[in-house]
Structure 1
Amino acid sequence: MNQMNTSAARPGRQSALLPMIIIAILFFIFGFVTWLNGSLIPFLKIVCDLNEFQALLVTFAFYIAYVVMALPMSLVLNKAGYKNGMVLGLLIMAIGAIMFIPAAQTSHYALFLAALFILGTGLTILQTAANPYVVCIGSRESAAMRISIMGLVNKGAGFIVPIIFTAWVLTGIEQFSEEALALLPAAERSEQLAELSNRLVTPYIYMTAVLLLLAAFVKFSPLPELNLNDSNDTAAANPSWTAVFSYPHLMLGVLALFVYVGVEVIAGDTIGLYGQGLGVAHFGALTSYTMAFMVLGYLVGVCCIPKYLSQERALQGSALFGIVFTLGVMFGSTESHLLADMLFGWWGVPLVPDTVLFLALLGFANALVWPAVWPLALQGLGKLTSTGSALLIMGIAGGALLPLVYGYLAHTSGNSQLAYWMMLPCYAYILFYAFKGHKLRSWR
């Protein structure tokens, strides 16, 4: 995203192929670890006997790492270099993955949250190190295409991981429903929950091994070290960096990304919890539905922007779709499967209630918000581009806080369906930014 100059020679087409493959693998890991949360939330709700608010501390622990650890990890990255930063990020993630083993064996929720925070910390440095390569391993003119490809890989992982998790961990999960567990004696109930929790041990052993192997692969790969000379960094060292606060389109863009990441995480990570409450048998795989629609949205962006669709129009359409689909979630039928039957029933895909389908369709609405807001928010910043980019990254905090707001509303109201109303003002704000906010150049 940052406008960078590099003193290292850009690789040619052939030499760029291997770095592209390596970075694509890393983006797959980003998506795999990030969107696994959607399946973990309803699983841990059962294992640790949580309410909706408590269960959504999963997203808080994971995404708050981006905010808390962003600056410390950027300092580490400056010392270690970009390639070594990727290796370090993978090693930190391996520590977080191995922590799931004692957490699963003890069913201690605080250990799960600590492990998720460490995973988020590793991802923070990994993403900070990997993203510059997407821009620098080829020509500037084709950078947008490479970014789109990485987005498809990332969300493709989000489509696959819930299916794998369901097949490996959630098989026979119906015997662990609240009603079934309530009928058991306390000792037998604890024994069954311990058995369920221990299902996480083997998958996370494999995940740890994969992360360690990837760290070794990246360390000894021919991936070139980037020598970035960012002419914009002078703004960060100069007191005048505070001038970014005089750009309303940037500051409003930070808020747009805050609410966007919040609703994106709500759509991807609460759908399993919501489906579980409605008695959907394959609730652990429901994040795949959201990710599938998000991939479809990315494909629309790749094919239509900017040839047929401007960034502003894409953002406006995304916000409008978000409002319509949120209303569908709130007022759609929890028993009818008509919409799902019409869309993909003929493919043999398991059907879901209409209201769950509307929640999944938010993936389509959300897909183009991030790529549309960034260029609009950074327009005209010049030497302050790097500082503006850092502020935009802080918008990821929305993924930590807004799902907790939803969890609180769902728990206190006792109606998880109507609690989704809190997304309406979020999409309304994105709509405001799409029409007017990004055009403002003065606070007066």
Structure 2
Amino acid sequence: LLIMAAGCLLFVPAAMLRYYPLFLLGLFVVGTGTTLLQTAVNPYITKLGDPARAAQRISIMGICNKFAGILAPMILGAIILKNSDGLLAELESLAPGAKTIRLDELAHDVIMPYMVLTLVLCVIAFGIKYAHLPEITPSADELAVNEKEELTNAGKSYNGVFMLGFTAIFVTVGVEVIAGDTIGNYGIYHGVRLDVAKSLTSYTLASMLTGYVLGALFIPKLITQEKAFLYSSLLGILLTLLAVFVPGEASIIFIALLGFANAMLWPAIWPLALRGLSGALLNRGSAILIMGIAGGAILPLVYSWLSHISNNQLAYLLLIPCYLFNVYYQISRTKKTVDHSLTQF
């Protein structure tokens, strides 16, 4: 949390200098802190209670996450990008000197929001420090089993499981970012005004928030986290096909609805991937899995490349193999768990 706060603080000199690489450095530092946080918090929440309710607990985290994600573009858009269409026209009409002064003013608008974020992150960090959260300690039996596996090199057999989980997170975060971050440009592609398109991400996040709420309410009462993962992946395939083949602005609706399909993917991967692990294997698995977040950086670039060689709409076909992999992962992981239980029996 403190590393994230330091990254937000870098936005102040970046805005004062209006130096883009410094903005990128700030984002990099924030991303570093986020990755460390996720590496710790996801296995912690997974192990903090009934394993069958792990996806429910992560869904509750997701509600807070996406609610903030919905508000952020609205608030920052209202502060920084208000009357954005008129702003672009204004900048084009200004002389070079006046344009520089106006751009400086716009850059300075980000200082206060990021100062507030820095303060909030620091407050949360010190709140966590003194909250006395319970430590998750494996039982003696779990430690003995994991130690035996490590000594006999049986732990190496988990590497394949970890890599499947890594790939599942890689494609899951990739489809989440594509659905959320490309929808604005996709709206512009279909002729939507920038003043409207800048807020389209909030619709994707709102549908994702709805999925998180339903997950928190109905897992495992009405549906298991494994089935929720499978059905969400299948729904993602259906919505992607509709987005690609429905013509015009109507297809934007299905990109926004992908947020609903994506909601239960992240919460359900963690209990699937970390099932039965503790000690060193749990730490190793979490570290490998969290690196799958790189999918959110790489797959949008692939989407961008596909949109240039085809168009923005057809490029969404990239999502199909991603969802298909998650279907395979859920079926194979569940089958291995059943086979392992039968063997022990």
Q: Note if 1:393 corresponds to 2:290.
A: yes
Give, in whole Å, the separation in 2 of the partners of 1:148 and 1:92. Answer: 25
Match for residue 359 of structure 1 among 235, 245, 255? 255
Match for residue 285 of structure 1 among 199, 202, 209? 199
> Over residues 331-389 of structure 1, what are the superposed CA-to-partner deviations in whole Å (9 max), with x where a residue is unaligned?
3343xxxxxxxxxxxxxxxxxx4222211111101011122333333445677444333
Q: Sequence identity, in percent?
A: 45
Match of 2:335 in 1: 439
Match for residue 252 of structure 1 among 144, 153, 164? 164
Give, in whole Å, the separation in 2 of the partners of 1:109 and 1:290. Answer: 28
Q: Note if 1:215 corresponds to 2:125.
A: yes
Q: Note if 1:407 corresponds to 2:319.
A: no
AA aligned to 2:21 is A
AA aligned to 2:182 is T
Give, in whole Å, the separation in 1 of the partners of 2:56 and 2:311. Answer: 42
Give, in whole Å, the separation in 1 of the partners of 2:119 and 2:332. Answer: 49
**Residues 235 and 372 (structure 1 numbering): CA distance in 2 closer, same or farther, change over 3 Å?**
farther
Match for residue 318 of structure 1 among 200, 210, 232? 232
Mean Cα deviation higher: 292-301 or 184-193: 184-193
**Residues 126 and 190 (structure 1 numbering): CA distance in 2 closer, same or farther, change over 3 Å?**
same
Q: Note if 1:302 corresponds to 2:240.
A: no
Give, in whole Å, the separation in 2 of the partners of 1:372 and 1:218. Answer: 25
Match for residue 147 of structure 1 among 49, 53, 58? 58
> Over residues 150-193 of structure 1, what are the superposed CA-to-partner deviations in whole Å (9 max), with x where a residue is unaligned?
2211222112212211222221111234x665555444444443
Matches within 5 A, 1:72-91: 90-91=1-2
**Per the alignment, in what secondary structure is the counterpart of residue 312 of structure 2?**
coil
Mean Cα deviation higher: 210-219 or 157-166: 210-219
Deviation at 1:424, TM superposition (A): 1.8
Match for residue 116 of structure 1 among 12, 27, 30? 27
**Residues 197 and 408 (structure 1 numbering): CA distance in 2 closer, same or farther, change over 3 Å?**
farther
Deviation at 1:328, TM superposition (A): 2.9
Give, in whole Å, the separation in 1 of the partners of 2:257 and 2:65. Answer: 18
**Residues 308 and 214 (structure 1 numbering): CA distance in 2 closer, same or farther, change over 3 Å?**
closer
Matches within 5 A, 1:125-136: 125-131=36-42, 134=45
**Residues 195 and 158 (structure 1 numbering): CA distance in 2 closer, same or farther, change over 3 Å?**
same
Aligned residues of 1:93 and 1:211 also touching (Cα < 8 A) = yes
Deviation at 1:256, TM superposition (A): 1.6
Q: Note if 1:194 corresponds to 2:104.
A: yes
**Residues 161 and 236 (structure 1 numbering): CA distance in 2 closer, same or farther, change over 3 Å?**
farther
Q: In angstroms, what is the RMSD of aligned CA positions?
A: 3.2
Question: TM (normalized to structure 1)?
Answer: 0.65
Match for residue 327 of structure 1 among 226, 236, 241? 241
AA aligned to 1:313 is K
Mean Cα deviation higher: 152-161 or 301-310: 301-310
Match for residue 100 of structure 1 among 8, 11, 32? 11
**Per the alignment, in what secondary structure is the counterpart of residue 196 of structure 1?**
helix
**Per the alignment, in what secondary structure is the counterpart of residue 239 of structure 2?**
helix
Question: TM (normalized to structure 2)?
Answer: 0.81
> Over residues 177-230 of structure 1, what are the superposed CA-to-partner deviations in whole Å (9 max), with x where a residue is unaligned?
4x66555544444444333222212211222232233334444x4x11544434
AA aligned to 2:132 is P
Unpaired runs of 5+ in structure 2? 340-345
Matches within 5 A, 1:32-43: none
Give, in whole Å, the separation in 2 of the partners of 1:436 and 1:135. Answer: 20
Deviation at 1:438, TM superposition (A): 4.5
**Per the alignment, in what secondary structure is the counterpart of residue 198 of structure 2?**
helix
Deviation at 1:290, TM superposition (A): 1.1
Q: Note if 1:168 corresponds to 2:71.
A: no
> Over residues 3-61 of structure 1, what are the superposed CA-to-partner deviations in whole Å (9 max), with x where a residue is unaligned?
xxxxxxxxxxxxxxxxxxxxxxxxxxxxxxxxxxxxxxxxxxxxxxxxxxxxxxxxxxx
Give, in whole Å, the separation in 2 of the partners of 1:433 and 1:395. Answer: 14
AA aligned to 1:224 is H
Mean Cα deviation higher: 357-366 or 374-383: 374-383
Q: Note if 1:266 corresponds to 2:178.
A: yes
State the aligned residue count. Answer: 329
Aligned residues of 1:319 and 1:365 also touching (Cα < 8 A) = yes
Give, in whole Å, the separation in 1 of the partners of 2:287 and 2:135. Answer: 20
